[in-house]
């Protein structure tokens, strides 16, 4: 819900909303949820024929707070505020933008830290494993509730891009444009391996206590810190780390101890520790699993072109040269499959030094391309 | 010491030896050791004029047991048995091969798990931080003891290659040939970052107990397991992981839980856990620090060509195309510096899919090149 825009280019103060789905909701795993809540935000106005709705799907550690601020003194805007707002690449003067926190999340949607009404305790490790497909089905329920039959566009980066692809497969006639940024049709063994180290860091932390850590006695802070430190390395490129930190020493000299001596060490520790203060470890585990599992071609003998044969959306794929976590080659696999089936697709490989994180950056060519495609 | 070779191409049964340095030994950090022991092995015979000695410097988790077996029922030979033996690339019919366990190690040389005679307790966290330079000076003491004035060659991969470079700088007239395999003049911010995550995994493990874990009550097993899992990912290439594991499932189906579902997960857990059973966590910390600190150009305003201006050895540098931890570009920096100072240098970039681990692999072109250079 958008209130007065307090400055040019910002959606201003926004208030999160909550969608309640009361029916039993079946998951890919075979498990069910007795209903769920999705926290979401919207920016811009839905037009009369409800044809200007644009869904943003968030990435691993993201949430529904994409743009604007929650209060006049909020120190930080939403995670994609540089892209979403009046006159911006995702122009809220034209679009009614929606983003929901993924099911299993820890920012207001039903997830492991939510109290299970059956037990009056947080779900914890009993929260079922959710998949990209489950997310898309839950978002479709939200679309129904909002009266949005067809999205003008669905946009997402990283695992957000996977949700875009899944939407186009599961609901081919419910989106007109599909924008996948720095994404992949499935992750590689190396990606799974990094996710597994992150998971093991959490699972092996004594504070994890088999996922029961909501009583306040313990928390897998160390494990979550390590998981995030590791993740962070893979979001950045070798080049940008060289430019940003090089071998700079914090105190200008070696200390010959295990303190944070190099700038990069201190940066990573800070990133990891800050993250561990506000993210739920069970949610982190779930999100990495959803990432590992995503593989729409698997049920078609690994033929991606068969998996996407019924898609109707007009696709834009964007990849970044220095992204080694979701390299351009992975986007190109999707482009190839779409071309093979005569689908509409535009592809751009953008020169950018910032690795996977480029998808959040102010890169002119990238922004202009996105804006032009959506216009 | 070499005994009867029990089969063609093997150095046979070998017995580790111990060199005792009794004097005070000053370290780069400014700290001192009241003497030290180096565990080492030798293969082949030292000739009369002691001109056929070849030193192998081991990598992060390696040790002095390079070739042969410790007993007739030893299940595994030394770590480079495929390269070192009669008629092999490093031919023990011609060379007297020496390798010592690095100072700070956990395989017989003085290190954190050694009992400090002053306290009658293991050094633990009180063992000083050692550097590549310290290792080289300790190896020079061993050379003196063995009566080896000049090495015919010094050979090493990864951080072993850094020791080779340091030898050529610290003792320019004590080696004729220098072979650096899959190495670098210093590691990058990304490398330091990976090392830091590995260190934090150990340091934050409650079992670490600030480095005091020799009483048998606890051990940072989880931290060391994580450190090794992570290390392992960086030793392999994305390609080889794809070829070796792809997205193969252990049981052919998803379990929707946190068991090891993908083959790559189960492989990594096994690697990490096996390693944690036989490697000392304090040593692991020290080795990663030595790697981070190595930067011979630092004291010459980052001019590597100045750092190597007095080297006399004939250099061979070998790098592997898929090695993203020590990429060919890093070796080429050294080649460039050597050429700039008109030093003798041969460089080969070998096509290999196995990433950093290629340096241990039976790659024909690589072996032939090494053999020819040493001949």
State pLDDT tens for residues B185-242: 999 999 999 999 999 999 999 999 999 999 988 999 999 999 999 999 999 999 899 9
pLDDT of residue A306: 98
CB contact under 8 A, A262 and B196: yes
CA–CA gap between residue A285 and residue B86 (Å, rounded): 51
Give the N- to C-terminal CA distance of chain A in Å, as an integer: 22
Tell me how long chain B is: 375
How distant is the Cα of B300 from the closest Cα of chain A, in angstroms? 15
A154-208 pLDDT, tens digit per residue, is 999 999 999 999 999 999 999 999 999 999 999 999 999 999 999 999 999 999 9
pLDDT of residue B216: 83
Give the N- to C-terminal CA distance of chain B in Å, as an integer: 22
Residue B354: exposure state from Cβ atoms within 10 A (0-12, 13-18, ≥19): buried
> What's the whole-number mean pLDDT along residues B119-124?
95
Confidence of residue A130 (pLDDT cuts 50, 70, 90): very high
Above 80 in pLDDT, residue A214?
yes
CA–CA gap between residue A248 and residue A14 (Å, rounded): 40
pLDDT of residue A124: 96
Residue A67's alpha-carbon distances to A22, A56, A74, A179, B10, in angstroms, are 28, 11, 12, 18, 67
CB contact under 8 A, B193 and A241: yes
pLDDT of residue B7: 45
> What's the whole-number mean pLDDT along residues B242-269?
92
- Strands A32-43 and A90-91, by their bridges, are unpaired
Residue of A161, A33, A51 whose CA lies nearest to A169: A161
CA–CA gap between residue A280 and residue B356 (Å, rounded): 35
pLDDT of residue A4: 47
Cross-chain CB nearest to B188 (options A238, A256, A269) = A238
pLDDT of residue A50: 97
Q: Which of A184-198, A280-294, B249-263, B308-322 has the lowest mean pLDDT?
A: B249-263
List the strands of the sheet with A175-181, edge to edge: A17-26, A32-43, A96-100, A53-57, A151-157, A175-181, A314-320, A345-350
Residue of A32, A21, A60, A109 whose CA lies nearest to A294: A60
Q: What is the CA radius of gyration of chain B?
A: 20
pLDDT of residue B5: 42
Rounded-to-5 percentages of helix, strand, coil across chain A: 40, 20, 45
Cross-chain CB nearest to B245 (options A189, A201, A226) = A189
pLDDT of residue B9: 87
The overall pTM is greater than 0.90: yes
* Catalytic annotation present for A356: yes
The sign of the torsion formed by the CA atoms of A320, A326, A328, A332 equals negative
Average pLDDT over chain A reads 95
pLDDT of residue A252: 87
Where are the extended beta strands (E) located within B127-272?
A: 151-157, 175-181
CB contact under 8 A, B200 and A226: yes
Above 60 in pLDDT, residue B249?
yes
> What's the whole-number mean pLDDT along residues A62-86?
96
Q: Nearest chain B residue to A198 by CA: give it.
A: B226
Query: Between helices A263-278 and A221-235, what is the axis angle to 10°?
Result: 120
Q: Say which residue the tokens 């004029």 belong to.
A: B49
């Amino acid at each position: 819900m958008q209130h007065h825009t307090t400055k040019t280019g910002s959606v201003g103060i926004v208030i999160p909303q909550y969608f309640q789905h009361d029916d039993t909701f079946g998951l890919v795993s075979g498990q069910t949820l007795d209903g769920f809540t999705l926290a979401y935000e919207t920016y811009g106005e839905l037009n009369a024929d409800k044809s200007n709705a644009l869904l943003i799907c968030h990435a691993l550690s993201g949430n529904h707070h994409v743009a604007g601020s929650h209060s006049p003194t909020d120190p930080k805007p939403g995670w994609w505020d540089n892209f979403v707002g009046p006159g911006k690449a995702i122009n809220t003067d034209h679009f009614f933008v929606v983003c929901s926190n993924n099911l299993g999340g820890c920012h207001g949607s039903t997830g492991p830290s939510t109290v299970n009404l059956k037990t009056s305790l947080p779900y914890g490790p009993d929260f079922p494993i959710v998949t990209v497909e489950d997310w898309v089905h839950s978002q479709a329920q939200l679309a129904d509730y909002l009266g949005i039959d067809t999205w003008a566009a669905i946009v997402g980066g990283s695992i957000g891009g996977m949700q875009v692809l899944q939407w186009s497969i599961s609901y081919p006639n419910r989106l007109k444009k599909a924008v996948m940024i720095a994404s992949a049709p499935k992750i590689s063994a190396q990606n799974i391996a990094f996710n597994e180290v992150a998971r093991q860091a959490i699972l092996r932390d004594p504070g994890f206590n088999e996922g029961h850590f909501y009583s306040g006695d313990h928390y897998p802070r160390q494990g979550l810190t390590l998981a995030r430190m590791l993740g962070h390395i893979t979001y950045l490129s070798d080049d940008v780390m060289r430019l940003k930190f090089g071998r700079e020493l914090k105190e200008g000299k070696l200390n010959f101890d295990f303190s944070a001596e190099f700038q990069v060490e201190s940066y990573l520790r800070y990133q990891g520790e800050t993250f561990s203060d506000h993210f739920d470890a069970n949610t982190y585990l779930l999100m990495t699993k959803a990432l590992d599992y995503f593989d729409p071609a698997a049920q078609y003998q690994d033929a991606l072109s068969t998996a996407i044969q019924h898609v109707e959306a007009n696709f834009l794929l964007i990849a970044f040269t220095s992204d080694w976590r979701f390299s351009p080659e992975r986007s190109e696999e999707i482009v190839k499959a779409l071309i093979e089936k005569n689908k509409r697709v535009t592809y751009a490989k953008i020169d950018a030094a910032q690795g996977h994180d480029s998808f959040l950056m102010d890169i002119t060519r990238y922004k202009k391309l996105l804006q032009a495609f959506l216009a």
